[in-house]
Amino acid sequence: MTSNAIPRKQLFTASCLALLVTSLSFGIRAGILGKLGTEFNLNASELGTIAATAFWGFPLAVVIGGFIVDIIGMKKLLVMAFIFHLAGILLTMASTGYWTLFISTLLIGIANGTVEAACNPLVASLFPENKTTKLNHFHLWFPGGIVIGTLIVFGLNKLGVSWQVEVGIMLIPALIYGYLFSKLKFPVTERVAAGVSSSTMYKSIFTGLFLFMILCMFGTAITELFTGQWIDVLLKNVTDNALLILTLDTGVMVVGRAFAGPVVKQFSPQGVLLISSVLATIGLYLLGHTTGNMIFVGALVFGMGVCYFWPTMLGFVSENLPKTGAVGMNLMGGAGMFAVSIYMIFMGKHYDAIVASKLPAGASLQSYTQAPPGSEMANTLFEANKAAGPAIINFTMMIPLCLIVAFAGLNLYMRGRKKPDILVAASAGH
């Protein structure tokens, strides 16, 4: 299949639209989480479980997708993603309580994972000579969609529009990407084009470097995605503009990923990961220890820190461990999302425990939650929540702190390592 027959630009555009739907689901859900809690009488633990469902639906789909993408092709996988997105969005709009929210969020999570399972290897196949940079350009639509989603929620909330309408907005890009992918011609994955066997691919995922990167992916994904998804819940009692902090943080990520090319060229993927860990740690410290306008400075620094994490982790594996193929990239994504889902459930319970510890001994958290606004009980709960959010952020800060050590070691290790031969073969065959 010649490169002329493959519409690179159209496929890349459709991939970005598919990722936009994925990110809109994060941005809009982050914006309406509090509203869903009020309407369906759900506590932080239940909201945490619902939000986490998207994160473990994702790894389920991304890992299965990684194993079957070479067999059924990227096109069929993306048509499946469209069907799951459509079902998840419509069911969310029709939700009546905990279980319908749980199932609809799971469907959207599966759709999101399927998009990444096909689009990450697709982008690597379309641009074999420039993988880390193009993966950053593709993944800028993740924070981009979160910015758009949170601004939509912020604007429509001011107009008093229902959350069902806010969720329904996701149908527009979903229908467009579904149409585009059904019409376009696809390449084979890079691993198949390079003639690397399936057995070689599976052996490659059990190397020390790949397993080390999986462990690091746990940390980078939690640092970026847990904080982003929960920022409104964690800081709404510290500032009136908690959702705008997410918008600022993700806005920085959009700009950063747009200019990934010169940054990656200057510092190398592993160098970028080390600098990112330092900035993410400083950003979380500021978010957890400051009030007023300094919180926005913290969001700015944090956004600069987590900006390159996800696409550069995938780009590093694709460039330095190319024989792991689509399975390698998708195991990375799956591992990251799985770690976030577990951490999110754990932190939802921890948050409730911190709040309960700030209330009088033997007090019922539910009775305080249902107390009328302005009452003594409501004020006590407000102060408890105000203390709990920064406590969770400070706990999470330990993760990028560990990553600084890990990525410093990776930089030292990579100094003596040659680039793999498959990269030359893939570039020549393109």
**Do 19 and 142 touch, CB atoms closer than 8 A?**
yes
pLDDT at 35: 82
Comparing C-alpha atoms, which of 345, 352, 365, 343 is closest to residue 391? 352
Please identify, in words, the CATH class of the domain defined by 3-429.
Answer: mainly alpha
Task: Please tell me the distance from the alpha carbon of residue 117 to that of residue 154, in angstroms, as a whole number.
Answer: 31
On average, the pLDDT of the chain sits at 87
Percentage of the chain with pLDDT > 90? 47
Higher pLDDT, 69 or 366: 69
Higher pLDDT, 70 or 174: 174
pLDDT at 238: 63
Q: Which residues lie closer than 8 Å to 194 by C-beta, 6 or more apart? A: 322, 422, 425, 426, 429
Comparing C-alpha atoms, which of 9, 191, 6, 23 is closest to residue 115? 23
DSSP secondary structure string for all residues of 23-48: HHHHHHHHHHHHHHHHHTT--HHHHH
Residue 234 banded pLDDT, cuts 50, 70, 90: low
pLDDT in tens, 39-58: 888 887 888 888 878 777 88
Does the pLDDT at position 116 exceed 80?
yes
Comparing C-alpha atoms, which of 98, 106, 97, 116 is closest to residue 21? 116
Does the pLDDT at position 3 exceed 50?
no
Q: Which of 9-18, 153-162, 305-314 has the lowest mean pLDDT?
A: 153-162
Comparing C-alpha atoms, which of 59, 175, 162, 47 is closest to residue 110? 59
Start-to-end CA span in the chain (Å): 10
Residue 93 banded pLDDT, cuts 50, 70, 90: very high
Q: Which residues lie closer than 8 Å to 102 by C-beta, 6 or more apart? A: 49, 50, 53
Q: Which residues lie closer than 8 Å to 18 by C-beta, 6 or more apart? A: 78, 81, 82, 115, 119, 177, 181
Give me the phi and psi of 26, to 5 degrees please.
-70, -50
pLDDT at 2: 44
Q: Which residues lie closer than 8 Å to 231 by C-beta, 6 or more apart? A: 30, 242, 243, 245, 246, 249
Does the pLDDT at position 176 exceed 80?
yes
Locate the domains of the chain by residue range: 3-429
Comparing C-alpha atoms, which of 276, 289, 281, 283 is closest to residue 302? 283
- Run of H or E including 428: helix 421-429
pLDDT at 191: 83
pLDDT in tens, 329-363: 999 988 998 898 889 888 888 888 888 888 887 77
Does the pLDDT at position 1 exceed 70?
no
pLDDT at 233: 67
Q: What integer is the mean pLDDT of 137-149?
A: 88
| Sign of CA pseudo-dihedral 35, 36, 39, 42 | negative
Residue 426 banded pLDDT, cuts 50, 70, 90: very low
Task: Please tell me the distance from the alpha carbon of residue 116 to that of residue 60, in angstroms, as a whole number.
Answer: 12
Task: Please tell me the distance from the alpha carbon of residue 327 to that of residue 319, in angstroms, as a whole number.
Answer: 14
**Do 274 and 404 touch, CB atoms closer than 8 A?**
yes
| CB-count burial class (<10 Å; 0-12, 13-18, 19+) for 171 | middle
Please tell me the pTM assigned to this model.
0.81
Residue 425 banded pLDDT, cuts 50, 70, 90: very low
Does the pLDDT at position 206 exceed 80?
yes
Q: What integer is the mean pLDDT of 286-299?
A: 85
Written as six digits, the tokens of 190 are 């890079």
Residue 421 banded pLDDT, cuts 50, 70, 90: low
Q: Which of 10-14, 32-36, 117-121, 409-413 has the lowest mean pLDDT?
A: 32-36
**Do 231 and 246 touch, CB atoms closer than 8 A?**
yes
Task: Please tell me the distance from the alpha carbon of residue 190 to that of residue 429, in angstroms, as a whole number.
Answer: 10
